[in-house]
Amino acid sequence: MRLLLFQVRILERSQLKQLSPFNQLSDRCLYRGIQQLEQNGLLHVTRTVSVIPLLESPLINWFPGNESPPLKTVCNQLRRRWRQWRPQRCVVFWASQYAVRCYGGVAGGTRQPLQLAHDLGTSAIFVQSTNDNPLRQQHWYGEDFMRQHPFPFPFMPDAALLNQKGSPQQLIEFGGQYSLRKLQRWHKACEAFRLPYELW
């Protein structure tokens, strides 16, 4: 439950199947587990239609002291891929308020289509990046959890890697249909605060 209470808002069924250790389970065992959590009131499950972003690596992986990334090129890439992705039928699930009362954290939920696609994009980053580097899991916290705590940055990222004191060590953002100006403002803020970031 920690995944849906502290790290991502919502997950699509195929995303869960890609995560370790769930990728070791049969479909039958996995779906039975989801059904049990739903019956216990810890999980909400629904069928919907949404874009499910497929991501392999960040478009930008910037660190303080590096040159500014080619933001205009990245802006064009973001717009192009949103035109290419197509909505599809899917099964999504999120933590309930009862789960919050039991374990802490923040409940997720379904939203309007573009926001749902954005949330699934953030989940796709979690899946890809933590499969590549499992140590990230213990430091990854999602936007909703961070909103409940003081966060020293003018923009709220989709996720961040936090140290033991709760200070951000790296920001993580899923690129929506962002304007060049928005990308420039984001990068300038990261430069000013000397915070590394990934934009996927």
Letter string b/e over residues 107-142, b meaning 16 or more CB atoms within 10 A of that residue's CB: bbbbeeeeebbbbbbbbbbbbbbbeeeeebbeebbb
Sign of the Cα torsion 172, 90, 36, 19 reads negative
Q: Taking residues 71-79, what's their average pLDDT?
A: 97
Sheet of strand 88-95, all strands in order from the earlier edge strand to the far edge: 11-12, 88-95, 43-50
Residue 110 has pLDDT above 90, yes or no: no
For residue range 156-167, what is the model confidence (pLDDT) as tens digits? 999 999 999 889
What whole-number distance in Å separates Cα of residue 123 and Cα of residue 150?
23
Sequence-ordered list of residues with C-beta below 8 angstroms from that of 51, at least 6 positions apart, any chain: 82, 85, 86, 87, 88, 113, 117, 120
Residue-level pLDDT at 114? 75
Which residues pair with residue 49 across a beta bridge? 89
Confidence of residue 119 (pLDDT cuts 50, 70, 90): very high
State the amino acid at position 50 in one-letter form.
S
Whole-model pTM over 0.85: yes
Confidence of residue 143 (pLDDT cuts 50, 70, 90): very high
CA-based end-to-end distance of the chain:
25
Domain boundaries, the chain: 2-199
Which residues pair with residue 41 across a beta bridge? none
